[in-house]
Amino acid sequence: MYFDSHAHLDDARFQPDFDDILARMRENGVTGMMNIGCDLPSSERSIERYDWIWAAVGSHPDDADHVDEARIARYRALCQNPRVRAIGEIGLDYHYEDIPREIQKTAFRMQLALARELSMPVVVHEREAHEDGMRIIDEFPEVKGVFHCYSGSLEMAKELVKRGWYIGFTGVITFKNARKAVEVAEWLPLSRTLIETDCPYMAPEPFRGRRCDQSMVPQMAKKIAEIKGLAPEAVAQATFRNAVTLFRLDAAGV
């Protein structure tokens, strides 16, 4: 039983064979999934009709220039839907810097404030912005969540865990050059580990370069099990329970 803690199944690339993807999810034991918003349209699409697909709403750093009080009000309204269990994905991305850093930081703070107001966890996208990312989350000690598709150092991972955060691994963990991710996964307590597809991106080996989907989730569990010297079933069960805990799904009967 697997939980895909970060997916974008609303992406247009899935529409031609959407029903087949859902069937493959079940066939591969993926019985829970969090669909993640990147902007307002994708956040609205993420609120699915399937009772085992949950939603997060928020603006990715690439959409930070659209985050204002009106956008926050809309996200607040969407959070009234019981399918919405997190604010995300939010954060900082300094790789391309299409959106100025100060605008990204303002949007990140506004959405963390919303999560604090609503007592909701967050899904953080952080790329090449480690220092600013840590500084900003420290301004909101009440807010916890997951750093998805983790790309930071082992030292940063230790600080996040100390603060009560989770760390998510995509198919990158299976890549031959994923030295840093492997080092973090080896140390990381299983109780703070999540697995995710980030589909349609980040397909694991041996599917690298293809469109990622939920049928590939077991590959991440298998690789983490190999790194930690555990049975894949142990990783699957632990990461499923971690997702249920983080996103507070116990009350929903998961």
Nearest to 242 by CA among 171, 184, 189, 173: 189
Residue linked to tokens 């974008």: 8
Reported as a pLDDT band with limits 50, 70 and 90, residue 50 is: confident
Reply yes or no on whether the pLDDT at 251 is more than 60: no
Contacts of 20 (CB under 8 A, 6+ apart): none
pTM (2 d.p.) = 0.96
Nearest to 194 by CA among 126, 247, 153, 156: 247
pLDDT at residue 101 in the model: 98
Share of the chain above pLDDT 90, in %: 91
Taking the C-alpha atoms of residue 218 and residue 221, their distance in angstroms, rounded to an integer, is 5
Reported as a pLDDT band with limits 50, 70 and 90, residue 252 is: low
Reply yes or no on whether the pLDDT at 51 is more than 80: no
CA angle 16, 217, 164 (to 5 degrees): 125
**Strand pairing category for 30-36 and 53-57:** parallel
Taking the C-alpha atoms of residue 170 and residue 149, their distance in angstroms, rounded to an integer, is 5
Give the CA distances from residue 56 to residues 7, 44, 115, 171, 192, in Å, rounded to whole numbers and listed in that order.
10, 9, 11, 21, 19
Write b or e for each residue in 150-185: b if 16 or more Cβ atoms lie within 10 A of its Cβ, otherwise e: bbbeeebbeebbeeebbbbbbbbbbbeebeebbebb
Q: 106-160: per-residue pLDDT in tens?
A: 999 999 999 999 999 999 999 999 999 999 999 999 999 999 999 999 999 999 9
**Mean pLDDT across the stretch 174-186?**
95
